[in-house]
Amino acid sequence: MRIFDLDKWHEIYFALRKNPLRTFFTAFGVFWGIFMLIIMMGAGEGLYNGASQDLGDMATNSVFMWTRRTTMPYKGFPRNRFYRFNNADTRALKDNIPEIKYIAPRLQGWGGDGTNNVVRGEKTGGYNIQGDYPEINLIDPVNVTRGRFLNQNDIDELRKVAVIGLKVYVEMFEPDENPIGQYVQIQGVYFQVVGMFQSKKNDNQANHDNQAIYIPFSTLQRVYNYGDMVGWYSFTARDDVRVEEVENKAKELLKQRHSIHPDDDRAIGSFNLDKEWSKMTSLFSGIRGLVWIVGIGTLLAGVIGVSNIMLIVVKERTKEIGIQRAIGAKPLNIISQIITESVLLTTFAGYFGLALGVGLLELLNYALNASQAEATMFSNPEVDFNKAVTALFILVIAGILAGAIPAKRAVSIKPIDALRDEI
């Protein structure tokens, strides 16, 4: 059997050309199956990318923790008691929970409720004033576009420095002005701008982040007379530890330090991003699985159509096959011809479906980027190259299977019976 037998390929070409309408509709079933599979995979990735970009580069193995009122009396303290985290808690967490990778105490200054709290010359604005440690940029990173972010020296020396968001710069500075080294007045206190940042997130969350001003945590405590109070904590776990373990140990330690009942689960609020991220990835894994099931099901319907048509083709060519067998054609030659015809039909139809699907996704992606649309839940629809190759491989296997039954039917016909066929 020669794969590159020119006569065999001519015979296949004329067999398919003999009935072009039937060939077209047979190929269309396969084309539509692979086309829909690619489109659904791309749409699923677009949804996943949109949801992922809402988080920016935020560490997914992170947890956020804040105080709430107690709901159970304990050690002489009544229920409904309010308390605050403090600097001693921060030291205790660092010293007693080695599973913590990064810890960032946070504190919010006055403002952020629409009232003007920042002045520069004749310009005023209301922004979110955040007291932070440098580690916050390892937990919830931003793009530092000018200057630098906060560092440990700023914390230790209680420096009056600030890192401003993009929206703060746009509203408080001239378009081409360099903000580094300039001063802004925050609640009557002057801070020198040492950096500027832009959020990595999307849309509304990005707008919120970009109107923030980061100042050293210790400076905010001193300037605003917060004493040693901590507003809330951001943690990440070591790479070999689940963040849920850190969350549970931190809650247990903080409850002991603030005389909270061990069973009072409402006294400390928390948000475990790892749990939410796991839910989201599980959801999209389910969506991807469903896409493959639906896509392959649609593709299978097209392949069954190819198999049925090939059975009809074999029936129509019964006498021709009989003549081939009579003059010495081996069963393997007959089988290879039928299977090659089936694979050729499915592969070409599938390739065009794949190319058109990828092209349509690229066109959609280009349109989204060109329009600069703010797509909060859909971004960069794409198909992974390995998945596209897998789809083509499945298609070739499907073409072989589609031709196997007609091929078996062809070689089962006895030459003498084939020559007597009246069709």
- Asked whether residue 1 carries a pLDDT value surpassing 50, the answer given is no
- Asked whether residue 193 carries a pLDDT value surpassing 90, the answer given is yes
- Asked whether residue 311 carries a pLDDT value surpassing 80, the answer given is no
Domain holding 143, by residue range, is: 110-223
Whether residue 177 sits in one domain with residue 289: no
Whether residue 401 sits in one domain with residue 371: yes
Whether residue 376 sits in one domain with residue 293: yes
Total domains in the fold of the chain: 3
- Asked whether residue 58 carries a pLDDT value surpassing 80, the answer given is no
Tokens describing residue 194: 């040492």
Whether residue 162 sits in one domain with residue 214: yes
The mean pLDDT of 105-114, rounded to a whole number, is 73
Query: How far is C-alpha 202 from the chain's CA centre?
Result: 13
The answer to whether position 272 is within a domain reads no
- Asked whether residue 307 carries a pLDDT value surpassing 50, the answer given is yes
Q: Using CB atoms within 10 Å of the CB of residue 121, give its burial: 0 to 12 exposed, 13 to 18 middle, 19+ buried.
A: exposed
Whether residue 103 sits in one domain with residue 242: yes
Tell me the DSSP string of 301-367: HHHHHHHHHHHHHHHHTHHHHHHHHHTT--HHHHHHHHHHHHHHHHHHHHHHHHHHHHHHHHHHHHH
More confident call, 305 vs 210: 210
Whether residue 395 sits in one domain with residue 284: yes
141-158 tens-digit pLDDT:
999 999 999 999 999 999
The answer to whether position 85 is within a domain reads yes
37-41, 78-82, 338-342 — which is least confidently predicted?
A: 338-342
Place of tokens 């796991």: 278
The answer to whether position 273 is within a domain reads no
338-375 tens-digit pLDDT:
777 777 777 788 788 888 888 888 887 777 766 655 55
> What pLDDT was estimated at residue 423?
44
Which of 214, 241, 266 finishes a domain? 266
> What pLDDT was estimated at residue 280?
75
**Cα(66)–Cα(235) distance, rounded to whole angstroms?**
12
270-305 tens-digit pLDDT:
999 888 777 777 777 787 788 778 777 777 777 777
Name the phi and psi angles at 147, rounded to 5.
65, -135
Whether residue 338 sits in one domain with residue 383: yes
> What pLDDT was estimated at residue 205?
76
Name the phi and psi angles at 83, rounded to 5.
-145, 175
**Contact between residue 66 and residue 250 where contact means Cβ atoms under 8 Å apart:** no
The answer to whether position 60 is within a domain reads no
**Contact between residue 135 and residue 104 where contact means Cβ atoms under 8 Å apart:** yes
The mean pLDDT of 215-243, rounded to a whole number, is 91
Average pLDDT, the chain: 80
Task: Of 10, 11, 16, 118, give the one whose Cα is nearest residue 342.
Answer: 16
Contacts 24+ apart (CB under 8 A), 221-226: 221/107, 221/131, 222/158, 223/109, 223/160, 223/187, 223/189, 224/109, 224/110, 224/187, 226/107
The answer to whether position 50 is within a domain reads yes
Task: Of 89, 65, 83, give the one whose Cα is nearest residue 237.
Answer: 65
Output the CA torsion 298→300→301→302 (10° steps).
90
**Cα(275)–Cα(252) distance, rounded to whole angstroms?**
19
The answer to whether position 271 is within a domain reads no
Whether residue 240 sits in one domain with residue 101: yes
Whether residue 233 sits in one domain with residue 92: yes
The answer to whether position 47 is within a domain reads yes
Which of 191, 223, 255 finishes a domain? 223
Whether residue 185 sits in one domain with residue 152: yes
Whether residue 173 sits in one domain with residue 77: no
**Cα(289)–Cα(304) distance, rounded to whole angstroms?**
22
Tokens describing residue 33: 């199956």
Whether residue 334 sits in one domain with residue 374: yes
The answer to whether position 413 is within a domain reads yes
Q: Using CB atoms within 10 Å of the CB of residue 205, give its burial: 0 to 12 exposed, 13 to 18 middle, 19+ buried.
A: middle
